[in-house]
Amino acid sequence: MKMKKIILALAGIVLFTSHVNVAFLATNDFSDVSQTSPYYTAITDLKTRGIISGYPDGTFRPDQEVNRAEALKIILLGAGINTGSSSATAHFSDTSSTAWYAPYLNKAVELGIVQGYPDGTFQPAQTVNLVENLKMLLVAKNVALSNVTVTQNPYADAFSGQWYSKFVEYAKDKNLIDADPQNKIYPAQGMTRGKLAETLYRLLYIQDNGLSSFPATTVSVPVQNPTPTPPPASGTGVNFTIDPTLNRQTISPYIYGSNEITEDNGQPREPGMKLIRSGGNRWTAYDWENNASNAGTDWGPNSSDSYLSDSKTPGDAVKTRVDAAFGLGAAALITVPIVDYVAADENGIVTDIASDTNSRWDKNLPTTPGTLPLTPDLQDHTVYQDQFVTWVQNTYQSSLNSGKQIFYSLDNEPGLWPSTHPLVHPQQTTYAEMAKRTADFSAMIKKIAPNSLVFGAVAFGYSEYLNLQSAPDANGRDYLDFFLDSAKAAETSAGRRLVDVLDLHWYPEAKGGGVRITDSQSAAPSDAEVEARVQAPRSLWDPTYVEDSWITADVLNNGPIELIPWLQTKIAAHYPGTKLSFSEYEYGGANHISGGIAEADVLGIFGKENVFAATLWPEGFSNTPDTYIYGAFDLYLNYDGQGDGVGDTSVSAQNSDINDTSVYAIAKSSDSTVLYIVAINKTKNVIPANVAVANSSAFASGQVYQLTAANMKPQAAGSFAVQNNQFTYQMPAWSVSLWVLKTT
């Protein structure tokens, strides 16, 4: 069908969009795709062509990630490929010839559009990422790539020399995809149904119209009279411009997590937490058969004791913690030791190096030889972790079947084993052993718990990221690149993905006034320390920010850290589809408002930057009744003290002053009548915030909840009127404000 650009003036006003957005005279009838959606034109066009039809409830769900089966159907229909003559064959061990997607899968296999995994599966429910989707689409459309040359990186995070390079270069040349302001496309990010529709629509549009590329701009023809879009915010102070239709990113609930459960008078202080981790140095030498553990030099002189549990019942130390996590409605992240030995008893200080003949230690192995016993042998001085994982899965089978989650972590901070566990692992950790240990233990876990996620690397900090703490076999190789490559190779060998999450620890090295911010929980820090702490979260993402630390000075030549984009680039290049986690992090300042400000900023960044999981390590304040850091969590999870939390979808929030302020906008996927805005004032002065919300429902009012120096918990701070989707608010000094906007 030929498309024509349409130019229309309404009352002398011409409405422009950032890309071609030709609206049709008929609506698409999807209840969740309004004319303000950035995918409205694409979805309407594809529905008109009969390529998409949506769900039985009348929705299209544009922000929902699209799986391999759904993507395949849409792509084949978009390519005009007739599936009628395809054979009714299962092809893969996890697909059926009677499944709804079978005709599309059969034809795609026949035409060489898709291939299965080495284990003979297709994994129809697995999310498709951007570059995988591009490949499927361009192959299905028989796009010739022989003349495409890639001489330089197409985007800041999409590199030449990768399997996807030609597909991305073609997409860039034809303007099939959009980059963000930092020229990044996030190749490993899961595709949503809306993004897939937009990419397909653009390709069809240029082919239908004989164009060399998709036009950058044209005029939108509204179907009905839309809610007027306000101009960008402007005025004295800072300007925030929110657009719920742009940069929509599902927020993983697991970023709101903590290590252990800190209690106050027997009650958990984090009732809204979504992930509880049982990890740390003590769990490296945990013996699940008798609950003995040894924290090495981290807690005294290598003492084996009953710190984790007084019980002698196998697994009770873990069960207590998983039960507590489930009681909070949270997922549990538990540690599987992968070192050679674990504590055999609770008899106190150990002085001799672990060995097969040292009775103070039990040998630790991934797999039981022969048949798994029903109960562990407590006298053989050997611990088999497949028995532990089997016990966990059996103990919580009904909970797991009901939707609760248990994740598995491969030990803790292996780069530090020679210093934290010198009796268990006295020699320096090597690249080679980490590849083998990771493959052996993760394969065991996946065999027993195939639907559970495995967290790997669990690296302690930047020096471990770079070279595994100067491993003897580093040979100039980047360790995280190596780890991802080896995990990908292990998948190829095993025929299934073994490591799902790249897990790291992040304790900022930033200093202020000579004090490292994580070393201080003071209620009266210096101005320099406060400034360093409230600015430190910018090192997670900001290409313009350079903190005062040995990392920027000695490693990066006084350049920015940009931690999360740097890590996501590694994942895209070395093992696409791997999730990112920080199972330990902390910014200090628990007893000062600067700690709450930094934590609120970090949580906003994690949601915006597609981090999968994060668990706070409450260093130095685990027994403190209240802290500003927990107050920041409350602002996201329990802002009114009644259990109400923010939404589940990060959306575009533009900020005119990222030095003094931060802003995060969060929508609720199930309710467009409410919008949450987290606004942070990082200074000692009141800052007026001029806020404009574009392309959204018409909001009428806002409620305010605030975290300030006056109180460690969020406090209700009144309400205000919203007119024409604009308002100005005076942000108090050193504060985090949550504005809950409503249409009524």
Q: 3-class DSSP state for residue 207?
A: helix
Distance between CA atoms of residues 171 and 564, nearest Å? 25
Contact in structure between 708 and 698 (CB atoms under 8 Å): no
> Cα dist. 235→79, 232, 254, 689 in Å?
49, 10, 37, 8
Give the pairing type, strands 249-250 and 579-585. Answer: unpaired
Strand partners, 739: 677, 704
Token pair 């090295």: residue: 509
Buried b (16+ CB within 10 A) or exposed e, 58-87: eebbbbbbbbbbbbbbbbbbbbebebeebe
* AA identity, residue 283: W
Which two structure tokens, joined as six digits, stand for 423? 């009796």
* AA identity, residue 410: L
Q: Is 275 exposed, middle or buried (0-12, 13-18, 19+ CB in 10 A)?
A: buried
Among 132, 413, 433, 547, the one annotated catalytic = 413
Q: Is 252 exposed, middle or buried (0-12, 13-18, 19+ CB in 10 A)?
A: buried
Please provide the distance, in angstroms rounded to a whole number, between the alpha carbons at the two ends of the chain: 43
* AA identity, residue 154: P
Contact in structure between 389 and 448 (CB atoms under 8 Å): yes
Q: 3-class DSSP state for residue 465?
A: helix
Q: 3-class DSSP state for residue 729?
A: strand
Distance between CA atoms of residues 376 and 394, nearest Å? 14
- Answer yes or no: 413 catalytic: yes
Contact in structure between 59 and 31 (CB atoms under 8 Å): yes
Handedness of CA 491, 494, 496, 499 (dihedral sign): negative
How many other C-beta atoms can be found within 10 angstroms of the C-beta atom of residue 340? 16
Name the residue among 609, 569, 367, 560 with its Cα closest to residue 484: 569
Which two structure tokens, joined as six digits, stand for 212? 């060399």
Distance between CA atoms of residues 288 and 343, nearest Å? 10
* AA identity, residue 727: F
How many other C-beta atoms can be found within 10 angstroms of the C-beta atom of residue 351? 8
Distance between CA atoms of residues 167 and 155, nearest Å? 12
What's the number of CA atoms in the CB half-sphere (13 Å) around residue 590? 18
Strand partners, 276: 258, 332
Q: Is 668 exposed, middle or buried (0-12, 13-18, 19+ CB in 10 A)?
A: middle
Name the residue among 259, 269, 262 with its Cα closest to residue 713: 269
What's the number of CA atoms in the CB half-sphere (13 Å) around residue 279? 37
Active-site positions? 413
